[in-house]
């Protein structure tokens, strides 16, 4: 399927990592889409081979997908359809603030407005402990009229790039942006559901990575599937407790971006966070794991979540145990024993 050249809405995806590229593939089947990366060499390689061999080796990119390393050209592309276009920020959490600051200055040069922006990164900012929506609110304070939202859900980039089925959630307080995101991505093997609970969706995306590390540690220690089920279930309780304290809707955590994403990350072999936990459960330190090239958002996120939970007066025992193992050199077996020795409570 190729997009109608007279399609009413254009899409620009900022960030050509695995997930940004996968979303660009999906969007390009439904709308004129451009993929941007700061790295001109990466963009040149994508253009010449129609593969992103650095992040998605072996995946052919659609002929209809465009590429650019010119930031403003990407933004301008999104504004050129008959309807206001969509910007998808596929940049990692560490790059979100600067991308939005750059974006704020570029938006003023556009001749037509955008439907809005959606981001895909998950976690809490390491220094500030802020959620992505809080970072965006600060960085785009000069653009109060711009609609914003988060796109999340249980999704491995490789499977989406391969065209396998996936279900995602677009969360925004703006109905027009929710519908624009659905129009850009929903179809074929991609289902997109709408939500207004931005905070709940973001908390689910952050906490699931921390719990996935805990589940990996348990699997690495050989604690069995009973223990994994217990960690997932009690991890979901921590996710809900933390989210509700920040104003999230309880029901969100039983949906795609809560339970769905948690189950995928805690059990899927493609989960980086679970792989990090597995290695640590098998005796490696975090430093050794990172030196092998494994990265995990959950490791950075765990400390930020733990710190913010303490400030809120919320008890997150699994998150605390993950922090102790990762950063305080508490042996995984000891951390597990401490979790098991906690007083019995009503569920």
Euclidean distance between CA atoms 208 and 296, whole angstroms = 12
Residue 2 located in a structural domain: no
Residue 4 located in a structural domain: no
Same structural domain, 255 and 171: no
CATH number at residue 185: 3.40.50.720
How many structural domains compose the chain? 2
pLDDT per residue as tens, the chain (347 positions): 454 544 579 999 999 999 999 999 999 999 999 999 999 999 999 999 999 999 999 999 999 999 999 999 999 999 999 999 999 999 999 999 999 999 999 998 998 999 999 999 999 999 999 999 999 999 999 999 999 999 999 999 999 999 999 999 999 999 999 999 999 999 999 999 999 999 999 999 999 999 999 999 999 999 999 999 999 999 999 999 999 999 999 999 999 999 999 999 999 999 999 999 999 999 999 999 988 877 778 998 999 999 999 999 999 999 999 999 999 999 999 999 888 888 777 77
Chosen domain end from 165, 196, 227:
196
Q: How far is CA 236 from the centre of its chain?
A: 17
Same structural domain, 291 and 170: no
Chosen domain end from 196, 224, 248:
196
Residue 346 located in a structural domain: no
Residue 284 located in a structural domain: yes
Same structural domain, 270 and 333: yes
Same structural domain, 214 and 260: yes
Same structural domain, 213 and 93: no
First to last CA, the chain: 49
Among residues 108, 107, 125, 109, the alpha carbon closest in space to that of 117 is found at 107
Among residues 162, 207, 184, 254, the alpha carbon closest in space to that of 13 is found at 184
* Residue that the structure tokens 């309807």 belong to: 83
Residue 1 located in a structural domain: no
Euclidean distance between CA atoms 110 and 326, whole angstroms = 46
**Residue 81, SS3 per DSSP:** coil
Same structural domain, 251 and 158: no
Q: Which residues are catalytic?
A: 208
Residue 347 located in a structural domain: no
**How many of the other CB atoms lie within 10 Å of CB of 267?**
17
- Write down the pLDDT at residue 46: 98
Chosen domain end from 162, 196, 230:
196
- Please, what is the Cα angle at 128 between 127 and 133, to 5 degrees? 125
Residue 129 located in a structural domain: yes
pTM confidence score: 0.95
Same structural domain, 214 and 162: no
Same structural domain, 169 and 239: no
For the residues of 3-48, what is the DSSP string, one character each?
--TT-SEEEEEE--SHHHHHHHHHHHTTS-EEEE-S-HHHHHHHHH
CATH number at residue 260: 1.10.1040.10
- Write down the pLDDT at residue 332: 96
- Write down the pLDDT at residue 8: 78
- Write down the pLDDT at residue 4: 52
The domain of 44 spans 9-196
- Write down the pLDDT at residue 1: 45
Euclidean distance between CA atoms 300 and 94, whole angstroms = 10
**Residue 36, SS3 per DSSP:** strand
* Residue that the structure tokens 């950063």 belong to: 327
């Amino acid at each position: 399927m190729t997009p109608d050249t007279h399609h009413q809405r254009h899409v620009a995806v900022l960030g050509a990592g695995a997930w940004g590229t996968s979303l660009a593939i999906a969007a390009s089947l439904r709308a004129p889409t451009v993929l941007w990366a700061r790295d001109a060499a990466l963009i040149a390689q994508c253009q010449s081979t129609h593969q992103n061999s650095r992040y998605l080796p072996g995946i052919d990119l659609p002929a209809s997908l465009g590429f650019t390393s010119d930031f403003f050209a990407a933004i301008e592309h999104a504004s050129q359809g008959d309807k206001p276009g969509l910007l998808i920020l596929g940049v990692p959490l560490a790059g979100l603030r600067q991308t939005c600051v750059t974006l704020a200055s570029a938006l003023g040069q556009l001749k037509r407005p955008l439907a809005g922006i959606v981001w895909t990164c998950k976690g809490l900012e390491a220094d500030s402990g802020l959620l992505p929506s809080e970072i965006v609110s600060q960085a785009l304070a000069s653009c109060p009229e711009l609609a914003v939202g988060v796109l999340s859900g249980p999704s491995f980039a490789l499977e989406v790039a391969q065209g396998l089925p996936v279900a995602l959630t677009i969360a925004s307080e703006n109905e027009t942006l929710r519908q624009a995101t659905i129009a850009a991505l929903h179809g074929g093997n991609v289902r997109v559901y709408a939500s207004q609970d931005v905070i709940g969706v973001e908390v689910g995306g952050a906490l699931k990575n921390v719990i996935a590390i805990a589940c990996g540690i348990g699997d690495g220690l050989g604690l069995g599937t009973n223990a994994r089920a217990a960690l997932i279930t009690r991890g979901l309780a921590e996710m809900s407790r933390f989210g509700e304290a920040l104003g999230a809707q309880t029901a969100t955590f039983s949906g795609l971006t809560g339970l769905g994403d948690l189950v995928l990350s805690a059990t899927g072999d493609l989960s980086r966070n679970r792989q990090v936990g597995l290695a640590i459960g098998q005796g490696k330190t975090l430093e050794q794991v990172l030196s092998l090239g494994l990265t995990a958002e959950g490791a950075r996120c765990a400390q930020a979540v733990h710190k913010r939970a303490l400030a809120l007066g919320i008890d997150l025992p699994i998150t605390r145990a993950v922090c102790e193992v990762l950063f305080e050199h508490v042996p995984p077996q000891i951390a597990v024993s401490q979790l098991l020795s906690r007083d019995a409570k009503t569920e």
